[in-house]
Structure 1
Amino acid sequence: MDPVVRAVNLIRARGLNHRQFRSFLEDFEADFTDVLYHTNIRWLSMGKVLKRMWDVKDEVVMFFNMKDISCDFSREMECDEWVCDFAFAVDIMQKLNELNTKLQGKGLFAHELYVEVKAFQSKLQLFAKQLKEQNFVHFPLLKTRTVTQALSDKYSSQQLMALRDEFIRRFADFKAIEGQFDLLSSPFACDVETAAEELQVELIDLQADNSLKRLFENKPLVEFYASLHSEKFKNLKNFSRKMFVIFASTYICEQTFPILKVNKSKNRSLLTDSNLQSVLRISTSNLTPNFNKLVNDCSQLHHCH
């Protein structure tokens, strides 16, 4: 990543180089007209930067040679092993970006996101096994290079398995409550004896009711639990509330950054903290204002004359 970022900075941080490079790409009729900056605070930045640099790597090297610019990227591109590492990094970052995208968005709950994480861990194990066997079917860019057995072993045993172990470590807390996730998402299929004691009787009543089973099949999960009888399924409803409020994603938090940037600009510098808090709350939630109540609560209305 370091040589790539330094190459991007050499091009984009200097106005003359940036203009000349864009003209250079236009003259060569390249598929892209520019390289991308790497931003640490953005979810998908690293993968996109690597992919764009891979797509224009030959043009970048030619441009640096033409301008007689000394850069690590040009020297590293002469090393076949480093180019293979580069291709592997682009391929695996594309897969991480796909996972990252699935873990973002409104209306997603922890048990749904954990399913995606578990699936990705299994994929990493599959990828490692296939790379060890020199099978590059899931790594299209790496497949275009001549990869030695030593490099295949490095990618499979060192890189991919280390990545899988890191996923296991980071999501250990979710692994500990995996059984509760299964109960929440599939209450009619779970084993009653493995459930918490305070839920067992209610689960038996739930699984015996065919009308509730049809309701479960036809309604979203949140609406299904909300529709259960408050007294008959008291413990089950409390359990579902605890599981649904688990903070599963930073999406809403990160969503506030662009909203804040738009609203707290130099042209709106007089916004107070309370005004800004109201703007952020409305922008990041599904609240619908009760306009009739707001109008009725007004102490004085100004009529048009």
Structure 2
Amino acid sequence: MGSVALAISDGMLHFELGVAYEVFGNAPPDLADRWYDVRVCGSGTASVGRFQLAPDGGLDRLAHADTVIVPACSDVDEDPPADLVDAVRAAYDGGARVASLCTGAFVLAAAGLLDGRRATTHWAHTDALAARYPRVEVDPDVLYVDNGRVLTSAGKAAAMDLCLHLVRLDHGSVIANAVARRLVVPPHRAGGQAQFVTTPMPAPDNHPLADLIPWVIDRLDQPLTVEQLARQANMSSRNLGRHFRSVTGTTPLRWLLTQRIRRAQDLLETTDDNVDTIASATGMGTATTLRRHFNRTVGVPPDTYRRTFRTARPS
């Protein structure tokens, strides 16, 4: 269904490019005559990861594609190649659907396609995208964003999610699920789902919270308060808040909620415990409270998360 152009240039990352080619370049059984016509387009032989890749045609061919995919670039500190930016803009102006994978969003932003639109990229680069392109509404907490003819994804696995989303739009859920089954990946993760990035733990023994944080992690099932944390750390609540912002980038209560949600994710993935039991084990109190915070933070209900991410357990 239609043509897909994979836009490449020096410095592209091979994983996202490979994901797109695997999804769009391999037709399911009995769909060969109705599948995508895929072309790799670039201004010349490009260094993609450690490989040298010769394109099927020039960047001018992007303007003739129905869908243009821009894979990730390795160096977001450098401006994307001007010829690539111009070709992507021309393709969009000509009616193409344009999608970026991971840091490919920087190319779309440079082309002006994200101005006034919501967009995402890999969580590690969302701040840089927002700072460089202030007219873009950067959402760091989702897997992908669909604006109709302009789509962006977060990093790595989320690139697969977006590619399968495009297949679902074009061919329906049955075909998209068949592709996902062949690739041995979840058949569908909603774009609004969070990127499931755990809050980084600070380096041990070199900050004022080094003793407090493990103490809290061991007591997530208890109804802890800021005052209790401050007493345990032998500091005032105000001083505790200042250190938490310095070390974790957030407030004590927000950090504590993140740890409770992360513990709930672990239990949903690895146990058969019901939501009430997990709510108690994570200090949430009730299943209603857990569901409210989990849905707000992660983007899906606990039961949906369990169905999608449940790991196989030995009998």
Q: TM-score, normalization: structure 1?
A: 0.28
Greater strand share, structure number: 2
Q: Which has the larger radius of gyration?
A: 1
Higher relative contact order (CA 8 A, sep 6+): 1
- Structure 2 length normalisation: TM-score? 0.27
